[in-house]
Amino acid sequence: MNVVSTAIGYPYIGENREWKRCVESFWKKKISEEQFRLEMKTIRLDHMKRQQSLGLELLTVGDFTYYDRMLDLAAMFGLVPTRYSWTGGEVDLSTYYSMARGANDVVACEMTKWFNTNYHYIVPEYEDQPLTLTKNYILDYFLEAKEELGLITKPTIIGPFTFIQLAKGYDAKSKALFILKLLPLYAQALQQLVDAGATWIQVEEPAFVLSLSTEDVKLVQEMYKQLAEEVPDAQIMLQTYFEGLSAYEELSQLPVAGIGLDFVHGKEENLDSLRTYGFPPDKVLGVGVVNGRDIWIANLAEKAADVKAILSLSGAEEVWIQSSCSLQHVPVTTKSETNLDSTLRNALAFADEKIVEITHITSYVRDEDWAGNKSVSKSMLATEALVNHEARQNRRVKELVSQVKPEHFLRPIPFKQRQTLQKEVLKLPDYPTTTIGSFPQSDEVKRTRTAWRKKEITDSAYAEFVKMETARWIQIQEEIGLDVLVHGEFERTDMVEYFGEKLNGFAFTEKAWVVSYGSRCVKPPIIYGDVEWTAPMTVKEVEEAQQLTSKHVKGMLTGPVTILNWSFVRDDISREQVANQIALALREEIQALEDAGISIIQVDEPALREGLPLRKENWNEYLSWAVNAFKLATSSVKNETQIHTHMCYCEFNDFIEPIRALDADVISIETSRSHGELIQSLKKNPYELGIGLGVYDIHSPRVPSMEEIDTILNESLEVIAKEQFWVNPDCGLKTRHEEETIASLRNMVAATQKLREQHELTRSN
C-alpha cells in the first residue's frame, strides 16, 4: 500500500502574524510594492520549509493569499466589477485591494462567511463580462517552490462548482453562460500546471457536502467530464470537507484521480457511504482524519483505529493521510504558549502539532506498528487528564443548569406590548440613531493597554485612561447628535476574549491567532471548563458613561452562541450544554446592568448563523438550542428594558424566522454590501420587531456621503415601518480611524435628520 502524508492547507498568517504586518505596512505605504512582494515570498517559502521540517511529505501551494483565495480566483479569471474601472491584463494590487476593502470612490465587494467557519471570503461578482485567465498565480507559486526549494508540490485551487455556487450576479438563465466562460479558464490553468510538472493538483470542492439537487449533480458530472477531456493528463485530487460527501454514489465516480473525504465532521456519513457503495479501486483516497478545525490533541490510537476501519471498508491501495480541512482555521503552533495550565497545554495541538500527528499516523499505517512511538500513550494520558480537570467539576454551574425551566426562555409579554411600554419609558425620537458598540481603538489606546498588560502602568492608571477616553467619546457622540450612545469598549480587545477573561472555564493564549477576514486576526478563547459568572463584567464602564449624559447608554454584551462559535470549545459535552452555561452567566450580568439602571442592553449574536449545519435539513436541532440560549440569557429582564442584538455577514433571505424567534426588541444587521438583496427579502418576509439596517460599510475606509445614506434609508422605508426603524452603521467601529468615523456618523445623523424633517412635513400636510 502506498501511503503519503499531506495537509489540505496551512495557515498563511505566520507564527507572529508576519503576513498581517506585511499587508498592513503596504496598505499604509510604509513599504513599496516591490518590498511587499519580496516579503510575501519569504513568508511563503518559510512556511514550506517549516512543514517539510515537520515531516510532511506532500506539500501544498496555492493555499497562500494576499487577502482572500476567492478574491484571488476572481482576479485570476477577470471577474472584476465595472465600478473598479479595470481595463484588462493582470489585476493590479490597487484594484485587488479596492475589491477587498473599497476605495474613496467605490464600495468593496460583499464579504460573507466561508461555509460554517469564522472565516469571511470576498464574494465574486459576475456581470456578464468577458472572462480571461489574467495571471495564473497558482502556477507562480508552484514554480517558486520548484525553483527555490527543489520541491514538486501539490498546487491547490478552489473548484469550479464551489466558486460558481459562492459567486453572485447571475440567475438561472445566465448561469449556463457563466459556466461556459469559466470552465475553459479552469482547464487552461490546470494545463499550465501539468505542463510545469505538477504530478497532482488539488481541487477543493467543499460545496460537494451541501444538499445537492439532481440538477446540481448532473452539472458537476458534466463540468468534470469536460475538464477531464480538456486536460487528460491532470491528476486531480478532489478534496471535500466540513461534512460528508453528498450524492456519494454519483460523485465518487467522477473522472478524477483521487477523492479526499472528511472523516472528522463527516465521519459517520462518509463511513456509511463506504459501506454502501465502496470506493473506486482506481482512485487515491484522501483520509481527512486529523481535525483541522479544533485545537485538541488527537488520540492517536483512536485515529489509527479509524484509519484501519476506513481502509478495510474502502479497499484503497493508495492513501493520503491528511487534515480534515485546511489548517488555516487553527493557530500555527503551541510552542509559544508558555503561560497555560500544564494540563490544558498538554492537551492542545495547533497546525504544526497536527502535522506531526499526521506523520505519526502515516508511519503507523505504513508499518502497522508504532515502533516505540511515545506520542500514542502521551495523547491518551493528556486527554484523560483534561477530562478529570477540576475546572470541569463546578458544582454551582451544574446546579444552575439543572434548575432551568421552560419559562426561563420566554419574555413575560409579547413584543407589541413591550414596545408600547418602552416608548413611554425611553422617549426616543423617530428613527433613533445609534452605533453597534465599539469606537476606534487608536494607537494610544493600544499602547496603553499593552503597557498595562506588561504591568508598566498600574491598574488604576489604566482604568483612569479608559474612563477619560470613554468621556471623550460620549462628548463626541453628543456633538454628532446620536440618540442612543455607547461607552466605546476601550477596555476591550476582542468581543469574545473580554468576557472569557472574566468568566470561569476559559483560557487564553499568547499567540494563537487565526484569520477572521482580510488582515483581521483573532485569538479565540479556549472553553475548557464549566462556564461561571463570578462578578459584574461590564457594569462599571457603562455606569460611568451613563453618568456623563442624559441620553441612554447601551449596555454591551456578546451573546452566548457567538461566544461559543468564536471560541475553541471543549468536546467532552455537547455544544448545547456549553451554550446554556454561557447563557446563564450572561443572565446574571444582564441582571447586574438592570440593577445599575441601564435600560437598553445589546446582546450581540453575529455568529448565530455560522453555527448552522451546512445542510438545511439539519438546521432545526441547532436553531432550537441556539435561539433558546439567547432567550435564556435575555428573557429575565423587565418589560421596559429594551433588548437589542446585532448580526453581521449573514444571508438573511432564509434566516428571518430564527431572527424573529430571538424575540429581541431591536436587531441591527449588516446590509451595506448586500442592501438590495435584504430589501427584496423583507418584501417577501416582513419583519415586525425593531430593526436597523446597517446604512454604511465599516469595513471600508471610505466615508459615505449623506446622499448615499439617504438613498439607503428611503429604500429601507419601503419594507420597514417608522415605528420599527433604527439607523446605525453595519458593524462596530473598532478597526476604523477617528476622523473617518466621525465624518461617517455625521453624514448618517444628517441623513436621518433629513428623513425626520420629510416625515414631519408629510404629516403636517
Task: For 76-92, write each residue's pLDDT tens digit.
Answer: 999 999 999 999 999 99
How many other C-beta atoms lie within 10 A of the C-beta of residue 607?
A: 26
Residue 204 shares a structural domain with residue 327: yes
* 3-state class (DSSP) for residue 579: helix
Q: Which residues are annotated as a binding site for 5-methyltetrahydropteroyltri-L-glutamate?
A: 17-20, 113, 118, 520-521, 566, 610
pLDDT value for 173: 87
pLDDT band at 568 (very low <50, low <70, confident <90, very high): very high
pLDDT value for 676: 65
Whether residue 47 is contained in a domain is answered as yes
Whether residue 527 is contained in a domain is answered as no
pLDDT value for 244: 97
Spatial neighbors of 230 by CB under 8 A, at least 6 apart, are: 184, 187, 191
pLDDT value for 298: 95
Residue 98 shares a structural domain with residue 175: yes
8 A C-beta contact, residue 490 and residue 507: no
Q: Encode burial over 547-564: b for 16+ CB neighbours within 10 A, e otherwise.
A: ebeeebbbbbbbbbbbbb
Helix axes 539-546, 575-595, angle to 10 degrees: 30
Whether residue 381 is contained in a domain is answered as yes
Per-residue pLDDT at 456 exceeds 90: yes
pLDDT more than 90, % of the chain: 84
Mean pLDDT for the stretch of residues 516-544: 95
pLDDT value for 33: 98
pLDDT value for 653: 63
pLDDT value for 700: 79
pLDDT tens per residue across span 702-719 = 898 999 999 989 888 888
Looking at 357, 389, 421, the residue that finishes a domain is 389
From residue 514, how far is each of 20, 394, 438 by CA, in Å? 11, 30, 21
pLDDT band at 650 (very low <50, low <70, confident <90, very high): low
pLDDT tens per residue across span 461-512 = 999 999 999 999 999 999 999 999 999 999 998 889 899 999 999 999 999 9
Residue 496 shares a structural domain with residue 623: yes
How many other C-beta atoms lie within 10 A of the C-beta of residue 625?
A: 17
Distance CA 569, CA 293 (A): 11
Average pLDDT over all residues of the chain: 94
Q: What is the DSSP letter of 582?
A: H
Residue 423 shares a structural domain with residue 361: no
- Domain residue limits at 240: 2-389
Mean pLDDT for the stretch of residues 717-727: 90
Mean pLDDT for the stretch of residues 618-625: 94
Active site residue 699: yes
Residue 643 shares a structural domain with residue 723: yes
Question: Looking at the 3D structure of the chain, how many domains does it have?
Answer: 2
Residue 545 shares a structural domain with residue 615: yes
Mean pLDDT for the stretch of residues 377-403: 94
Q: Closest by alpha carbon to 532, among 584, 468, 594, 476?
A: 584
Distance CA 687, CA 657 (A): 9
Whether residue 394 is contained in a domain is answered as no
Whether residue 510 is contained in a domain is answered as no
Residue 18 shares a structural domain with residue 91: yes
Residue 487 shares a structural domain with residue 358: no
Looking at 333, 356, 389, the residue that finishes a domain is 389
Whether residue 441 is contained in a domain is answered as yes
Q: Which residues are annotated as a binding site?
A: 17-20, 113, 118, 436-438, 489, 520-521, 566, 604, 610, 646, 648, 670, 731
pLDDT value for 303: 94
> Cell 438546521 sits at which residue?
619
Residue 615 shares a structural domain with residue 728: yes
Mean pLDDT for the stretch of residues 727-751: 93
Looking at 360, 389, 418, the residue that finishes a domain is 389
pLDDT band at 760 (very low <50, low <70, confident <90, very high): confident
Distance CA 647, CA 634 (A): 16
pLDDT value for 765: 63
Distance CA 56, CA 206 (A): 23
pLDDT value for 352: 98
pLDDT value for 672: 61
Q: Given 389, 699, 737, 759, which residue is catalytic?
A: 699
pLDDT value for 494: 83
- Determine if the pTM surpasses 0.85: yes
Residue 113 shares a structural domain with residue 255: yes
**Phi, psi of 507, deg, nearest 5:** -130, 155
pLDDT tens per residue across span 155-186 = 999 999 999 999 999 998 899 999 999 999 99
Cell numbers linked to 242: 466540513
Mean pLDDT for the stretch of residues 629-657: 86
8 A C-beta contact, residue 263 and residue 324: yes
Low-confidence winner among 3-17, 28-42, 314-328, 709-723 (lowest mean pLDDT): 709-723
Per-residue pLDDT at 674 exceeds 80: no
Q: Which residues are annotated as a binding site for Zn(2+)?
A: 646, 648, 670, 731
Whether residue 479 is contained in a domain is answered as yes
* Domain at 41, CATH number: 3.20.20.210
Residue 594 shares a structural domain with residue 738: yes
Distance CA 298, CA 454 (A): 34
Whether residue 437 is contained in a domain is answered as yes
Residue 376 shares a structural domain with residue 484: no
Q: Which residues are annotated as a binding site for L-homocysteine?
A: 436-438, 489, 604
Per-residue pLDDT at 8 exceeds 80: yes
